[in-house]
Amino acid sequence: MTLDTQTLDSRIIDILSGVTTATITTILLKKGLRNVWMRGTRPLRPGEQRKVGRAFTLRFVPAREDLATPESWSSPKSTRAAIEDMPSGCIAVVDAMGITDAGIFGDILCARMGRRGVAALVTDGALRDLAGVLGTGLPVWAQGAAAPPSVAGLTFVNWQEPIGCGGVAVFPNDVVVADADGAVVIPAALLDHVLATAPEQERMEGWIMDEVNRGEKLPGLYPMNAETKARYEAQMTRTRG
């Protein structure tokens, strides 16, 4: 709980806002990382815009009757206290162990997160008060909705520590990108590599799509052979010139 969330530079947000999670998973796969896409994280609102931010982590464990009580909501170690620690621009990533029959947050908590400037909420669990949550405008990636409160199936234990969300290890200050395909984590140590390679990957795939729409065949085009790559680079040089 003492770990501060680092502010993400606006330049980084601008770059990653133009990069799909599909592209990011491909780039990280080439670096040997196969498990970066958080299972069960789907946008609750159709057409949700891509969101980028540092991970602010929260962790639940299975409910235990002496701890998972309505009284626990007033504890110093509660979801309410965690929300008050969330900095503007972060993405709250919540480990709910994939449990979907208890809602981790409802409309009031999501409204407070929105007021604090939280960029998005990502969880492998469920939300409650769905209509109200959507009404807050907070972008949410989750498995769906459930009427029971969190204490019906979960015990909140801590925030700003390593978690597992959707089967993926997420550390505080990792970078999270979420779009229509779900949410992906970029390990902090690999952020510079993704920033350096992702825009070019997007440009290249856009060019390939144009070639496909022109009737080009896939062999030698995707992936590019030497001749196609030379043609691509020549065209990019002319465009930049």
Which residues neighbour 118 within 8 Å (Cβ) at sequence distance 6 or greater?
A: 56, 86, 88, 89, 90, 91, 92, 138
Query: Between helices 21-30 and 191-213, what is the axis angle to 10°?
Result: 120
Is the pLDDT assigned to residue 164 strictly greater than 60? yes
Helix, strand, coil in percent for the chain, rounding step 5: 35, 25, 40
Q: Are 159 and 4 in contact (CB under 8 A)?
A: no
Q: How far apart are CA 228 and CA 17, in angstroms?
A: 28
Upstream peptide bond of 76 is cis (omega within 30 degrees of 0): no
**C-alpha neighbours within 13 Å on the C-beta side of residue 47:** 2
* pLDDT value of position 68: 62
DSSP E strands, 63-162: 91-95, 120-123, 140-142, 154-159
What is the per-residue pLDDT across 53-83, written as a single tens digit (0 to 9) for each? 999 999 999 988 887 677 776 777 899 999 9
Is the pLDDT assigned to residue 32 strictly greater than 60? yes
Instruction: Tell me what the mean pLDDT of segment 205-221 comes to.
Output: 96
Which of 92-96, 100-104, 191-195, 237-241 shows the lowest per-residue confidence on average (mean pLDDT)? 237-241
What is the per-residue pLDDT across 100-153, written as a single tens digit (0 to 9) for each? 999 999 999 999 999 999 999 999 999 999 999 999 999 999 999 999 999 999
Is the pLDDT assigned to residue 2 strictly greater than 50? no
Instruction: Tell me what the mean pLDDT of segment 232-240 comes to.
Output: 88
CA torsion sign for 159, 140, 194, 116 is: negative
Is the pLDDT assigned to residue 30 strictly greater than 50? yes
Q: How far apart are CA 121 and CA 94, in angstroms?
A: 8
Domains of the chain: 10-188 (3.50.30.40), 194-240 (no CATH)
Phi-psi category of residue 66: left, alpha or beta, with phi > 0 → left and psi -120 to 50 → alpha: alpha
Confidence bin at 241 (pLDDT 50/70/90): low
DSSP state of 22: H
